[in-house]
Amino acid sequence: MLPQSASDPRRLNLEDAKASDAAKRAFFRILERWGIGTDAARVLLGSPSRSTFFSWKRGEGGSLSRDEFERVSYILGIYKGLQVLFTDDRLADAWIKKPNDAFGGRSALDRMLAGNVSDLHAVRAYIDYVRGGRS
């Protein structure tokens, strides 16, 4: 469980280095499963510099910003939603790159690579809609 804010025990403390480290580890593990390369991964994180990105990938570097936490949160939600929808992990991991009518015939990854947080939200919302709220 990630550390919570002292002012509101239900809120994640975004300034806690352990929370950032856990979020970065989860992000890189998921992207490895999905077969996402460096350039695409940087876009999904909001385009940090290459040196910052590789520092984070090595488990070093500073804390994530609020925007980066939000982006990682969407990626985690997308991953979890796909795990709920598909009983086969390989199908769940492959879905992200498959063409989808919901995204104009493009893949969910293509939509997410438009680079805006709202694009990550759109993919997450679609998966939640298809899931029908099952967890």
Count of CB atoms situated within 10 Å of the CB of 62: 10
At 60 the pLDDT is 87
Radius of gyration of the chain (CA): 15
Tokens 């480290």 locate to: 21
Tell me the average pLDDT across 117-132: 95
At 1 the pLDDT is 43
**End-to-end C-alpha distance for the chain, whole angstroms:** 18
At 30-78, the pLDDT tens digits run 999 999 999 999 999 999 999 999 999 998 888 999 999 999 999 999 9
Name the β-bridge partners of 12: 4
Q: Where are the domains of the chain?
A: 17-131
Are 5 and 49 in contact, with CB atoms under 8 Å apart?
A: no
Provide the H-helix boundaries in the chain: 17-34, 38-44, 50-57, 66-85, 89-95, 108-112, 117-131
At 11 the pLDDT is 62
Whether the per-residue pLDDT at 2 is higher than 50: the answer is: no
